[in-house]
Structure 1
Amino acid sequence: MPHSTDLSGYGVVPIPIVCIRNGAGPTALFMAGSHGDEYEGQVALAGLARDIDPAGVTGRIIILPALNAPAVAAGRRVSPLDAGNLNRAFPGDPVAGPTAMIAHYVATVLLAMADLAIDLHAGGRSCDYVPCALIRSGGTEAEQRELAELAVSFGAPITSISDGSGGGGRTTFSAVGQGSGVPVLTAELGGGAALSREGLSIAEQGLRRVLQRYGLLSGSTVDPASPTRFMRVRGRGAFVYAMQKGLFEPAAELRAVVQAGDLAGVIHAIDRPWQAPEPVLFTEGGMVACRRAPVLTEAGDCLYKLLVDVEPA
């Protein structure tokens, strides 16, 4: 990626990419490191790149373990070069800043080659996630069936179905994938800027199962997929936000089932220790899929995200 600085006028930022190709067949695009402080996917994809025997490949596997290389090197969600959030920068721009250039290359060059794509994430420094896969709704019946089968093959304990209406959904990688007709599965594998062994194992096994399902990989031993529980975000009320700055003391653990009106936690005022902590309540019921990790909290920070089961058709 070209990037000019005071000390490197004609410089570039190297971004590692591995392409394993053997014979004719489909193309899988696997990415991690869109956010630099999310580690399970980075480790899983680097291991996959080392371990795959090209003789067992039929088709092409494109692997980018550190897609947003500047953010990965800095251990940050956003790029230290332009403060860009890569998974809110699609479809990108080839003549804008570094983050937009990466997004444009992925969207116009790599995605155009792909028959399927997986984008591995985690909660980063800001939150902890129950390991889960995410797929988008809104496509054709055939597209939705393909995404569901992809999720079943990946085998995360939970698969969250989203319409992409929140969190910059139209500017994510999954959104441009849907617009291009490429099935995209996203995964959240842990958080807290730590490395979840559970999340790493889900990614390692899930990637190989998907490659086998698409006929891209043979001769690799992989565990059978566990059943995935299809869930969804009910609406904006599934997100709980802080309304003041302070120290966040959570009251609900990951995977807990809560009801509307239950205590989500309290926020302790930093400068008024004599003041009673401010209670925060859940406004909807559901399962806690995501919880804020840092204790120090600002007004507007997301504290929780809830999921509910998808009702049978």
Structure 2
Amino acid sequence: MTTPRPATNPIRSEIDLDAQGKHTGYLRLPHSVHRSAYGWIPLPVASIRNGDGLVVLVMAGNHGDEYEGQIIVSQLIREIDVQHVSGQLILLPMANFPAAAAGTRTSPLDEGNLNRSFPGDSAGTPTQVIADYIENTLLARADYLVDLHSGGSSLLYDGANMLAIEPRDAEEAVRVKALLSAFGLPKAFLHPLNPVTGSAAARRQGAISIVTELGGAGMSNAKLIRDGRDGLLHFLGFVGVLHGSIVPAQPPAQTRFMRVEGPHHYVYAYDEGVVEPLVELGERVVKGQAAARIHFPDTPLREPVTLYFDGDGEVACRRVQASVRRGDCVFHLAEDDPRYR
């Protein structure tokens, strides 16, 4: 946790984040447009604070077409009372509200992808302003970030997964493993740092981040909602922010630790057409194995193009839509991490 910097961001909170008790309201982002000259964008927020202690920022709706997290955070705002908390929970169910309200990955106001907009800009576009506020106001208070994602409209993950940035040293590796095990989703992927994500923003502010990937395909899945909620509640109990009967006795599963290393764990389309997948989610594949074929119904005599895996691993995620263009991700893989066996 760092000391929040003086406010330069135009977002103003309706609730006092320093106040004890349970409070809900909106973060107001000024937005002057034709239909509303003195208007503001309402970013829903809740604070549940009971004494001093650790601060956890829990957010969903970072991408607006990912729904399990929005449901989970909304549930927790209703279910968690002050007496359950030691320290503070700050909860954002629709972090990029314009995107979440539209049901799109990016904001319809500026095409901004919030999870590619950090550290943001207090004088920038709406998405950049939101990113700046999350990093420099909310995460500056926080010890932990839990960012609830799913695959969105274009991707489908194999069940319930977690992601964390590669630890910087052995001591941090032990801590991260314990935190992920306490969350307890079936698989956890460790991945390289991407400086424009919320996870990197958390690291810059001295917080540890856990990201979920709960299914996807623009749907909401009852089991994944249940597992994500129970895992989050158990995690909050493990770090000491939550206590009482609301904390499950056990996490949802024993976590299998994996890693996503780089370009060889991804398969991309290089042609525009219709993709025929040749493997299934969860399937084990090897380098050189055929991954998919791209067909060209507009030129039916043209032979399909075959895509191949460039590395070994397990199919963790696949594209939802059959139509593809050059640059679309068709599959991504993950590999067991020998450091955590």
- TM-score (normalizing by structure 1): 0.95
Task: Please tell me whether residue 199 in structure 1 is matched to residue 224 in structure 2.
Answer: yes
SS of equivalent residue, structure 1 residue 111:
helix
Equivalent in the alignment of 1:279: 306
Q: What whole-Å deviation, never above 9, does each CA across 1:59-91 have from its counterpart, x for those lacking one? A: 111110100000001000000000000000001
Instruction: Give the Cα separation in 2 of the matches to 1:234 and 1:87.
Output: 19
Equivalent in the alignment of 2:209: 184
1:44 CA displacement = 0.6
Equivalent in the alignment of 2:176: 147
Contact 1:247 1:297 in 2 (8 A): yes
1:28 CA displacement = 0.9
Equivalent in the alignment of 1:174: 199
Equivalent in the alignment of 2:103: 75
Task: Please tell me whether residue 7 in structure 1 is matched to residue 35 in structure 2.
Answer: yes
1:158 CA displacement = 0.7
Instruction: Give the Cα separation in 2 of the matches to 1:205 and 1:251.
Output: 34
Q: What whole-Å deviation, never above 9, does each CA across 1:136-163 have from its counterpart, x for those lacking one? A: 1142433332222111111111110111
1:279 CA displacement = 1.4
Equivalent of 1:162 in 182, 191, 214: 191
- TM-score (normalizing by structure 2): 0.88
SS of equivalent residue, structure 2 residue 40:
coil
1:258 counterpart letter in structure 2: V
After TM superposition, the runs of 4+ consecutive aligned structure 1 residues lying more than 6 A away are none
SS of equivalent residue, structure 1 residue 63:
strand
Task: Please tell me whether residue 253 in structure 1 is matched to residue 280 in structure 2.
Answer: yes
Instruction: Give the Cα separation in 1 of the matches to 2:261 and 2:46.
Output: 38
Contact 1:146 1:183 in 2 (8 A): no
SS of equivalent residue, structure 2 residue 179:
helix
Contact 2:283 2:314 in 1 (8 A): yes
| Identity in percent | 41
Q: Size of the alignment, in residue pairs?
A: 309
Q: Report the aligned-residue RMSD.
A: 1.3
Instruction: Give the Cα separation in 1 of the matches to 2:99 and 2:339.
Output: 41
Equivalent in the alignment of 1:45: 73
Equivalent of 1:214 in 221, 239, 258: 239
2:45 counterpart letter in structure 1: I
Give 1:14-25 correspondences, 5 Å limit: 14-25=42-53
Equivalent in the alignment of 1:93: 121
1:221 CA displacement = 4.3
